[in-house]
Chains A and B, each alone.
Chain A
């Protein structure tokens, strides 16, 4: 069986999102791209296990996530020590971004526990439903919901959104808060 042009096109279409998801998991763009590369190779190799008509994007994200965790398991000790290192690396890379509020967000994301971080990224940024995110992470839907809620609560603190001023003054982010409140 040859790889269909459609399969290939769907893979290519998913790459930008996979890179963003990889970056949120690893906090490093070089590592993120290595993950994406592994994901593409696995997807290609196992294309027969993909069931046409099911969610290709979710399938690819699942592969990337599995790859990430299997790499972590391989160098478990290194990673356990690296908790603080993760945050400081993020800080360095985030500052290079130039966008201050983007850097703030990356640093805040880095402070979330891994399970909460991936849950809020999948649901809050990648556009997956709770059900899809639950499938990708191989947990119950309720678990994803609770992780997302906890992640939001933590981000609220980390981004100082619990200070009323901070919310209303955060106009640079481009959200029309007055519009939001007006109903």
Chain B
């Protein structure tokens, strides 16, 4: 893992390799790993509590629309 990291900057491979990689990527152990890492990355962000700024914003929008309605 650590050794792989050293090669990382050379990772932007030419498009030719992409085609070969399609079949590698389709292997269940590879596609499952990609799926798992994507979800882990996504869930780490999505698991954060909703910041107050958004709840405040919704409250403001709510207040603005109900005061308009009552006029």
Chain A residues within CB distance 8 Å of chain B: 2-3, 8, 11-12, 15-17, 19-20, 23-24, 33, 36-37, 40-41, 44, 99, 101-102, 104-109, 111, 120-121, 124-126, 149-150, 152-163, 166-167, 169-170, 172-175, 177, 180-181
In the complex, 28 of the A-B residue pairs with CB atoms within 8 angstroms, ordered by the A residue number, are A12-B50, A12-B54, A12-B55, A36-B54, A40-B54, A40-B61, A99-B44, A102-B41, A106-B41, A111-B11, A111-B12, A120-B38, A121-B38, A124-B35, A150-B18, A152-B25, A152-B26, A153-B21, A157-B17, A157-B21, A160-B7, A160-B8, A161-B25, A161-B34, A167-B33, A170-B33, A173-B33, A177-B33
From known contacts A19-B48, A153-B25, A160-B4, infer whether A174 and B34 are also in contact, taking CB-CB under 8 Å. no
B30 close to A156 (CB less than 8 A): yes
Rounded to whole angstroms, the CA-CA distance of A90 and B43 in the bound complex is 18
Closest 7 CB pairs of A and B: A125-B42, A153-B21, A20-B45, A16-B46, A152-B25, A156-B25, A125-B38
Rounded to whole angstroms, the CA-CA distance of A124 and B32 in the bound complex is 10
Find A180's partner among B18, B19, B28, B65 (CB 8 Å cutoff). B28
Chain B residues within CB distance 8 Å of chain A: 1, 4-5, 7-8, 11-13, 17-19, 21-22, 24-26, 28-48, 50-51, 53-55, 57-58, 61-62, 65-66, 69
Rounded to whole angstroms, the CA-CA distance of A171 and B39 in the bound complex is 16
Find A2's partner among B26, B34, B66 (CB 8 Å cutoff). B66
A154 close to B18 (CB less than 8 A): yes
Rounded to whole angstroms, the CA-CA distance of A159 and B13 in the bound complex is 12
CB-CB < 8 A to B5: which residues of A?
104
Find B34's partner among A126, A150, A156 (CB 8 Å cutoff). A156
